[in-house]
């Protein structure tokens, strides 16, 4: 016969078991998990006490107060990342005000460069770069060099601490650690990758010489879907509103559902489309080798207007302040009215313009095949300055960030110029640069070369305080103090 435990002992044992057992897991979720300084993000949580008042902190500063519902949950509440937040890992903490229970999540502050034109507008200007400036860019030196084994004409995209770039022949698409250059994954396609990858929705989109548009998982490189076009794709995709827009040498511009790969529409132009689309205001702008700039309805693909130049357009357009800027093989940089297609102005550079424009602070920057870099007034087309000729053609597209213009030249160098005065601030050897264009992100410059290498440059080769923002320790709950002037947000929208 089993021995019966005294009732008091059983009760004590049960109490000890309950005390030792973990409480319902408290957790929070951030959407997204990385973004630029000043961005708005959402925080949600569960596992808190019923009707608990919860303080939400970014690092040690309280940003908002929320109230859990009867089930201990709160749905998405937005708050803004501080505009002065430095690049690197930060922490979001949610703490119950009454009992100190809480949860924490890391958040990466990063001035990502997600596609060829920086964003779908194609302006090639990073407004969130704060590390590099005209006063310190002369201290750039090699952070790392990664060998691919194949020529590189693609330009890098840099997102969430990863560099994505395509290469020629069979070497495929590379994903590299942005800080070290270490290979994270490599994915093959059936052709050359002159297209620059676009990164969105956890996927990498890139066109290939085999005529296909590919989507790969951004973390693993696993294929997601492919779309077959009628010829090679050198155009770089632009992603906007869950749609991927890209040109093909079959003369068409395509709109593809970013999630499924379903073709939404295809619109024919009069010749090859190697220009990369820009998307703004419900319109898609793209050049064709028929010498026309097309404005298409982003939803239907219908042709809205055509802007006329007098030679093929390989340059990719940029949209800013109601105007579309694009270079042409007729030696000119053009500005068209974004709504009507009327020519606002044109400026003769003296040579072929295959480089794509960058636009920042009312100035348009562009290179030409004579090896010169130009700056024009965006409103009038008046010449602001012209850089003395580099040693070879400039088909690389300039990038602008925090008062500095970066561009590659086929003379084997990458250059940095003062955006206002044109003074040369820095240069470095990086092999022969053809179409690859520099990317500026979190205090580093990335570019590909025909010497089969990818180059990364940083202040003092990365040995600088600006880059010491790697993995950080979360703040202790005891170090966080609520701002009693903040009022809890309504629980009414948290059913």
pLDDT of residue 6: 43
Mean pLDDT score of the chain: 93
Give one DSSP letter per residue of 439-474, joined into a string. Answer: EEETTEEEEE-TTSEEEEEEEGGG-SGGG--SS-PP
Cα 383 to Cα 305, 333, 348, 363, 373, distances in angstroms: 28, 11, 10, 10, 11
CATH superfamily of 16-109+474-489: Macroglobulin (MG2) domain (2.60.40.1930)
DSSP symbol at 24:
S
Query: Can you tell me the mean pLDDT for 81-107?
Result: 94
What residue spans define the domains of the chain? 16-109+474-489, 137-451
**Separation CA 222–CA 462 (nearest Å):** 31
Residue 346 · residue 362 · CB < 8 Å: no
pLDDT of residue 470: 65
pLDDT of residue 474: 95
pLDDT of residue 18: 35
pLDDT of residue 358: 98
Query: Can you tell me the mean pLDDT for 161-173?
Result: 94
**Lowest-pLDDT range of 238-242, 463-467, 475-479:** 463-467
Domains 16-109+474-489 and 137-451 share a fold: no
pLDDT of residue 472: 83
pTM, entire model: 0.91
**Separation CA 255–CA 205 (nearest Å):** 13
Is 50 exceeded by the pLDDT of residue 13? no
Query: Can you tell me the mean pLDDT for 271-288?
Result: 98
Query: Can you tell me the mean pLDDT for 23-39?
Result: 91
SS3 144: strand
CATH superfamily of 137-451: YVTN repeat-like/Quinoprotein amine dehydrogenase (2.130.10.10)
Residue (of 144, 145, 212) closest to 172 by Cα position: 212
pLDDT band, very low/low/confident/very high, at 466 (cuts 50, 70, 90): confident
Tokens of 422: 């044109």
Residues 6+ apart with CB under 8 A from 12: none
Cα 104 to Cα 21, 36, 45, 474, distances in angstroms: 21, 20, 10, 8
Query: Can you tell me the mean pLDDT for 117-132?
Result: 97
Residue 321 · residue 336 · CB < 8 Å: no
Residue 314 · residue 329 · CB < 8 Å: yes
pLDDT digits (tens, 9 = 90+) for 353-382: 999 999 999 999 999 999 999 999 999 999
Query: Can you tell me the mean pLDDT for 280-296?
Result: 98
């Amino acid at each position: 016969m089993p021995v019966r435990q005294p009732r008091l002992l059983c009760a004590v044992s049960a109490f000890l078991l309950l005390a030792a057992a973990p409480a319902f897991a408290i957790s929070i979720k951030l959407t997204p998990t990385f973004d630029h300084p000043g961005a708005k993000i959402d925080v949600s949580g569960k596992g808190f006490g019923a009707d608990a008042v919860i303080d939400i902190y970014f690092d040690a500063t309280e940003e908002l107060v929320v109230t859990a519902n009867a089930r201990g949950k709160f749905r998405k509440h937005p708050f803004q990342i501080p505009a002065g937040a430095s690049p690197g890992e930060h922490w979001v903490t949610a703490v119950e005000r009454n009992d100190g229970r809480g949860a924490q999540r890391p958040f990466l502050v990063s001035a990502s460069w997600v596609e060829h034109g920086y964003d779908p507008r194609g302006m090639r200007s990073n407004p969130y770069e704060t590390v590099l400036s005209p006063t310190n860019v002369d201290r750039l030196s090699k952070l790392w060099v990664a060998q691919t084994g194949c020529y590189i004409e693609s330009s890098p995209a840099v997102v969430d601490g990863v560099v994505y770039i395509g290469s020629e022949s069979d070497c495929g698409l590379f994903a590299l650690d942005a800080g070290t250059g270490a290979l994270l994954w490599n994915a093959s396609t059936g052709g050359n990758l002159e297209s620059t990858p676009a990164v969105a929705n956890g996927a990498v989109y890139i066109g290939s010489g085999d005529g296909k548009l590919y989507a790969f998982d951004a973390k693993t490189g696993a294929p997601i879907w492919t779309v077959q076009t009628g010829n090679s794709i050198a155009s770089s995709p632009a992603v906007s509103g869950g749609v991927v827009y890209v040109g093909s040498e079959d003369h068409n511009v395509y709109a593809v559902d970013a999630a499924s790969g379903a073709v939404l529409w295809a619109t024919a132009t009069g010749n090859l489309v190697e220009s990369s689309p820009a998307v703004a205001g419900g319109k898609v702008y793209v050049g064709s080798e028929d010498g026309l700039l097309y404005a298409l309805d982003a939803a239907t693909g219908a042709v809205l207007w055509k802007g006329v130049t007098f030679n093929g357009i390989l340059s990719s357009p940029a949209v800013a302040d109601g105007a579309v800027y694009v270079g042409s093989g007729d030696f000119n940089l053009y500005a068209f009215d974004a709504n009507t297609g009327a020519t606002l102005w044109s400026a003769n550079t003296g040579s072929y313009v295959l480089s794509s424009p960058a636009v920042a602070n009312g100035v348009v920057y562009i290179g030409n095949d004579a090896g010169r870099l130009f700056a024009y007034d965006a409103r009038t087309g008046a010449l602001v300055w012209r850089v003395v000729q580099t040693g070879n053609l400039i088909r690389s597209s300039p990038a602008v960030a925090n008062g500095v213009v970066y561009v590659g030249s086929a003379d084997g160098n990458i250059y940095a110029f003062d955006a206002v005065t044109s003074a040369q601030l820095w240069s470095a050897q990086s092999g022969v640069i053809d179409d690859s264009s520099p990317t500026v992100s979190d205090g580093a410059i990335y570019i590909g070369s025909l010497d089969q290498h990818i180059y990364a440059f940083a202040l003092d080769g990365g040995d600088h305080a600006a880059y010491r923002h790697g993995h950080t320790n979360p703040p202790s709950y005891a170090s966080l103090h609520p701002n009693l002037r903040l009022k809890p947000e309504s629980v009414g929208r948290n059913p």
